[in-house]
Amino acid sequence: MAKTNTKSETARSARAPRKTISAAASRPPRGAASAKTETPYHHGALREALLQAAERVLERDGLAGLTLRAVAREAGVSHAAPTHHFGDLTGLLSELAAVGFRQFNAAMAASSNAATTPLQAALARPKAYVAYAQAHPGMYGIMFRTERLDYSRPSLHEAAEASFAGLANAIGMMRQEQISGDALTLSQGAAIARAWSMVHGFTTLLLDGRLEDILGRLPEGTTAERLLEAMLMAPISGKLPGP
């Protein structure tokens, strides 16, 4: 961290000059700045505004640029304002991850519902999974690569749980079994772990550029999506190992 950034911390003081010594006599009206209805000064939905600002910062500056202060700056409030709403950096990241999980789940559900053939149905969710991560790498990073998440937060726990439930359900449909919420057979657990590990592993490797090596050696113009498809179909059509 601590990037040598030219962006001054006191950028805001341009429109709200710091009173160095003078007492609180005639404070410049904040209403002038909030006339654009961007962030309605004292009241309004600062919490939501901060989450949206965080998403914007994440898309613009990536994971490294997503700091508490940067988010506050983006929202046009003081750097300590987020504390009151999220308590912590962990709090903000966790709530943002929850937002991401909801988008993620919605994308997969939509893609799954649009499928018609069984083959399409089997490939729809994984493809949507990878597509979301490629479209929102920062968000995916928050959701899956960050140790600074607090899963005890209800919103995050619930959203992540929904993601898992969707996966388990899809596996159950493919196996034509009822996946119980309580207990799993080893075979069921293995099937779920397998599907999840494969797609999640593929996604992280892809986002980290670790698959470039493979993609570059494949027939000209083979996309990551094509490789994903082939990978997922392999256990069905591929040859078995051993003599």
Partner DNA sequence: CTCCCTATCTTTACATCGTAAAGATGAGAT
Partner DNA sequence: ATCTCATCTTTACGATGTAAAGATAGGGAG
The DSSP secondary-structure symbol of 11 reads: G
Which is closer to DNA, CB of 35 or CB of 183?
A: 35
219 residue type, one letter: P
* Contact status, residue 95 vs residue 153, Cβ threshold 8 Å: yes
Q: How far is the CB of 2 from DNA (least distance, A)?
A: 3
Q: How far is the CB of 57 from DNA (least distance, A)?
A: 10
**How far from the centroid of its chain's Cα atoms is residue 149's Cα?**
12
Give the whole-angstrom CA distance, residue 19 versus residue 13: 10
**Partner touching 231 among a second copy, DNA, none, CB below 5 to 8 Å by kind:** a second copy
Q: How far is the CB of 157 from a second copy (least distance, A)?
A: 11
Give yes or no for residue 166 binding a second copy (CB under 8 A): no
Number of chain residues interacting with a second copy (CB under 8 A): 58
Give yes or no for residue 205 binding a second copy (CB under 8 A): yes
Cα-based distances in Å from 116 to 124, 199, 206, 225? 10, 22, 28, 19
177-202 residues labelled b (16+ CB within 10 A) or e (exposed): eebeeeeeeeebeebbeebbebbbeb
Q: Candidates 38, 48, 60, 88: give the one binding DNA (CB under 7 A).
A: 88
Q: 17 is written with which tokens?
A: 């000059």
* Contact status, residue 74 vs residue 49, Cβ threshold 8 Å: no
Site for DNA in 5-44 (CB under 7 A): 5-9, 16, 18-19, 23-24, 27, 30, 41-44
Give yes or no for residue 134 binding a second copy (CB under 8 A): no
Q: How far is the CB of 232 from a second copy (least distance, A)?
A: 8
Give the whole-angstrom CA distance, residue 35 versus residue 26: 19
Give the whole-angstrom CA distance, residue 111 versus residue 126: 10
Q: 101 is written with which tokens?
A: 């999980």
Q: 74 is written with which tokens?
A: 């983006």
Give yes or no for residue 3 binding a second copy (CB under 8 A): no
Q: Candidates 183, 221, 223, 225: give the one binding a second copy (CB under 8 A).
A: 183
Which is closer to DNA, CB of 16 or CB of 232?
A: 16
**Partner touching 84 among a second copy, DNA, none, CB below 5 to 8 Å by kind:** DNA
Give the binding site for a second copy (CB under 8 A).
Answer: 1, 63-64, 118-119, 122, 144-145, 147, 164, 174-176, 182-187, 189-194, 196-202, 204-205, 208, 211, 213-215, 217-219, 222, 226-228, 230-231, 233-236, 238-243
